[in-house]
Amino acid sequence: MPVALFWHRRDLRRHDNAGLAAALQSGLPVLPLFIYDTDILDHLPRPHDARLTFIHDQVEGLARETAAAGGTFLAYYGRPAEVFAQLLAQLDVAAVFTNEDYEPCATRRDEAVAQLCQARGVAFHALKDQVIFAKTEVLTKSGTAHRAFGPYRDAWLAALRPEHLRPYPSAELFRAPHLGQWPAAPARPTLAQMGFKRCEQYVPASELPAEQLVRGYHTTRDQLGLAVDSSTRRSVHLRFGTLSVRELMQQAQTLNPKLLAELIWRDYFMMLFWRYPQLPEESFEPRLRGVAFRNDETEFRCWCEGRTGYPLIDAGMRELNQTGYLPNRARIAAASFLVKHLLIDWRWGERYFAERLLDYDLALNVGNWQWVAGTGVVAAPWFRVFSPDSQLKQFDPTGEYVRRWLPELGTAAYPPPMVEHKFARERALAAFKAAYHALPA
Ligand SMILES: Cc1cc2nc3c(=O)[nH]c(=O)nc-3n(C[C@H](O)[C@H](O)[C@H](O)COP(=O)(O)OP(=O)(O)OC[C@H]3O[C@@H](n4cnc5c(N)ncnc54)[C@H](O)[C@@H]3O)c2cc1C
């Protein structure tokens, strides 16, 4: 009997899922599928990776939900094109549904699978799900990508209609006869079979954040010392799609425009990435591709380990290393310090964040690193150099945050600043200025 496959990737949920709803409405029995992609997993540090443990838990949860609804959930460990070649040979697949993924590697992966399907006469449908507006949906009047965020946000808001935030009925349709069964389906891979061990890192639940938090978000989001969450802490769930961005957008739209604006940044970076897939490799502004970074490896290790002698930077890096999370304000301070104070290539910092952040997202990470570095994304000025001490006074005035992560602060065990702020600022400005003026505009 012909079936449809629904391929989960960054959308590990049953509810409000555009591609899953389309599959369940196709009239074909649907077999949901997840592939532990060896092209990605082979780059993760074995045996512990909190993100893989999180994904595995979600996939197993989806498999239980599918079984309870009378269907079969498939999970494989391998290269997607090879897994699909095998599946198309074993099953009578009439269509494959999935949700769009805008990262360069993902785009190439999907093209390969779409071509394979096409060659076998199988329809391949990719739907927009993880953003509200994708690709070329919000452009300038002359049809180019917005270089500044403000005009992009205004155009985004002007284009928004109620239907853009309306949930898809995937959870309602997730039952017989819309689900398929395959009694001979192979066993789903365990973490151990993939060479990993369980990693117990705390990740907040995927529900919508409390109304009170969202209402006060604009006043709390930059306060590092708060004992309670100052921002939504939903980035991991948006990254893996355990929370639908439409749900959070709707809540933000009703309760807090500042939160809505932050979520629009997410759409913005994903759009930029789709348009400029070379962004992870090079600075957006050609005149800043030649900055003479110092790239001192010992200084880089001090930064990674939180031993710079600047409490705000060190507290942030210790929090990141211990928890896999870092508040936005601390991300900005740490990134700026690495690029400007130490004159280390933003790509080194981007890679380190990629290893550590539970919410790591290529588009958001690279976009934000280039924004902080001032290398041309969002037209942020390259000559802005944050002072770590002024930032500390502003965002952690009582010192609560730095004391939480630096128990040795105030003792002889805490190191002196590794570089003097004024000297570092002038050195950075000279390096950026030299590169900027070396090429014509
Ligand atoms: C150098 C640097 C690297 C970053 N790397 C990542 C990353 O890899 N993954 C990631 O999800 N975010 C990244 N961010 C953006 C931001 O710091 C995190 O999204 C945020 O701190 C997550 O906490 P939250 O969920 O409480 O966010 P909230 O402040 O509650 O915001 C809600 C959601 O809006 C989105 N958002 C918020 N701020 C931004 C932003 N500046 N750019 C784009 N989207 C945003 C996120 O999806 C976030 O979960 C980075 C920021 C910087 C400065």
Contact 279, 287 (CB under 8 A): no
Average pLDDT value for residue range 33-46? 94
Same domain, 366 and 419: yes
pLDDT higher than 80, residue 92 = yes
For residue 375, the domain's CATH number is 1.10.579.10
Bigger pLDDT: 170 vs 376: 170
Confirm whether 184 is domain-assigned.
no
- The CATH number of the domain holding residue 250 is 1.25.40.80
Q: Which residues pair with 77 in a beta bridge?
A: 36
Q: Which of 116, 125, 44 is nearest to 84 (CA)?
A: 116
- Ligand 1 atom at shortest distance from the alpha carbon of 245: 47
Q: How far is the CA of 343 from the centre of ligand 1 (A)?
A: 24
Residue with the two structure tokens 């946000």: 153
Based on the domain organization, do 216 and 98 belong to the same domain?
no
Over residues 342-359, the mean pLDDT reads 97
Task: Tell me, yes or no, whether 315 lies in a domain.
Answer: yes
User: Cα of 327 to ligand 1 centre, how many Å?
Assistant: 8
Of 359, 362, 375, 384, the residue with max ligand 1 atoms within 8 A of its CB, to mutate for a pocket test, comes to 359
Percentage of the chain surpassing pLDDT 90?
A: 94
Of 221, 225, 222, 219, the closest CA to residue 397 belongs to 225
**pLDDT reading at 378 higher than 90:** no
Across the range 89-115, mean pLDDT stands at 97
Q: How far is the CA of 104 from the centre of ligand 1 (A)?
A: 20
How many angstroms does the Cα of residue 332 sit away from the middle of ligand 1?
10
Q: State yes or no: pLDDT of 441 exceeds 80.
A: no
User: Sign of dihedral through CA atoms 441, 291, 281, 259?
Assistant: negative
Half-sphere exposure of 425 (CA within 13 A, CB side): 9
412, exposed or middle or buried, with CB in 10 Å at 0-12, 13-18, 19+?
A: exposed
Does residue 4 belong to any structural domain of this protein? yes
Task: Classify residue 291: in a domain, yes or no.
Answer: yes
Q: Do both 10 and 122 map to the same domain?
A: yes
- Asked whether 171 and 15 are in contact (CB, 8 A), the reply is yes
What pLDDT does 22 receive?
98
Q: Cα(18) to centroid of ligand 1, in Å?
A: 23
Cβ of 373 less than 6 Å from ligand 1: no
For residue 206, the model assigns a pLDDT of 95
Q: Is 223 a member of any domain?
A: yes
The span from the CA of 313 to the CA of 392, in Å, is 9
Give the pLDDT confidence of 262-320 residue by residue, as tens digits: 999 999 999 999 999 999 999 999 999 999 999 999 999 999 999 999 999 999 999 99
Contacts of 421 (CB under 8 A, 6+ apart): 341, 387, 388, 389
Nearest to 392 by CA among 368, 409, 375: 409
The predicted pLDDT at position 381 comes to: 86
* Two tokens, residue 187: 């066993």
Mutate to test the pocket of ligand 1, among 222, 323, 353, 368 (most ligand atoms within 8 A of CB): 368
Residues 307 and 420 in one domain: yes
Q: Which of 230, 235, 243 to mutate to test the pocket of ligand 1 (most atoms within 8 A of CB)?
A: 235
Ligand 1, atom 6: closest residue by C-alpha: 365
pLDDT over 70 at 225, yes or no: yes
Phi and psi at 204, nearest 5°, equal: -60, 160
Please tell me the residue having the least CA distance from ligand 1 atom 22: 235
Residue 203 domain flag: no
Rounded distance from Cα 235 to ligand 1 centre (Å): 6
Q: What is the pLDDT of residues 151-171, one digit of tens each?
A: 999 999 999 999 999 999 999
Element (H, E) at 350: helix 346-356
Cα(236) to centroid(ligand 1), Å = 10
pLDDT exceeds cutoff 90 at 106: yes
Domain identity same for 309 and 413: yes
**Residue of the CA atom closest to atom 24 of ligand 1:** 233
Query: Which pLDDT score is estimated for 298?
Result: 98
Ligand 1 centroid from CA 356, angstroms:
14
Q: What's the mean pLDDT in 181-193?
A: 97
Q: What's the CA-to-centroid distance between 435 and ligand 1, angstroms?
A: 29
Mean pLDDT calculated for residue range 118-130: 98
Please tell me the predicted confidence (pLDDT) of residue 73.
98
Q: What's the whole-number average pLDDT of the chain? A: 96
Return the residue whose CA atom lies nearest to atom 23 of ligand 1: 233
**Residue 255 lies in domain:** 131-167+210-275
Confidence band of 376 (pLDDT split at 50, 70, 90)? confident
Measured in angstroms, how far is the CA atom of residue 224 from the centroid of ligand 1? 15
Residues 6+ apart with CB under 8 A from 87: 5, 33, 74, 93
pLDDT at position 379, please? 65
The closest alpha carbon to 385, from 372, 396, 366, 375, belongs to 372
CB 270 within 8 A of CB 279: no
Residue 249, CA atoms < 13 Å, CB-side half-sphere: 26
Residues 335 and 394 grouped into a single domain: yes
Q: pLDDT over 70 for what percent of the chain? A: 100
Indicate whether residue 262 lines ligand 1 (CB < 6 A): yes
Quick check: 147 pLDDT over 90? no
Is 196's pLDDT higher than 90?
yes
Write the CATH number for 112.
3.40.50.620
My answer on whether 139 and 85 are in the same domain is no
Task: Answer yes or no: is the C-beta of 269 below 6 A from any ligand 1 atom.
Answer: yes
Evaluate: CB of 335 within 6 angstroms of ligand 1: yes
Shared-domain flag, residues 271 and 163: yes
Q: How far lies 425's CA from each of 305, 340, 428, in Å?
A: 22, 7, 5
109 C-alpha to ligand 1 centroid (Å): 26
Question: Is residue 124 domain-shared with residue 151, that is, in the same domain?
Answer: no
C-alpha 222 – ligand 1 centre gap (Å): 12
Count of domains forming the chain = 3
- pLDDT-derived band at 239, boundaries 50, 70, 90: very high
Residue 36 included in any domain: yes
Q: To which residue do tokens 């009703």 refer?
A: 254
Of 218, 249, 275, which residue sits at a domain end? 275
Cβ–ligand 1 distance for 10 under 6 Å, the answer: no
Q: Is residue 180 a part of any domain in this protein?
A: no
Indicate the range of 55-64, 195-204, 390-399 predicted with least confidence: 195-204
Name residue, tokens 């930032």. 391
- The pLDDT of 314-339, averaged and rounded, is 97
The C-alpha torsion from 40 through 42 and 48 to 49, rounded to 10°, is -10
Mean pLDDT, range 189-198, rounded to an integer: 97
Identify whether residues 295 and 418 lie together within a single domain.
yes
Alpha helix positions (H), 143-275 = 149-159, 170-173, 211-220, 235-240, 245-255, 257-275
Q: pLDDT band at residue 227, thresholds of 50, 70 and 90?
A: confident
| pLDDT > 70? residue 380 | no
Give me the DSSP letters along 27-69. SSPEEEEEEEEHHHHTTS-SSB-HHHHHHHHHHHHHHHHHHHT
Mean local confidence (pLDDT), 406-429? 98
Nearest CA to ligand 1 atom 46: 235
Residue showing tokens 């944050």:
386
Taking residues 181-195, what's their average pLDDT? Answer: 97
In whole angstroms, give the CA distance from residue 307 to residue 334: 12
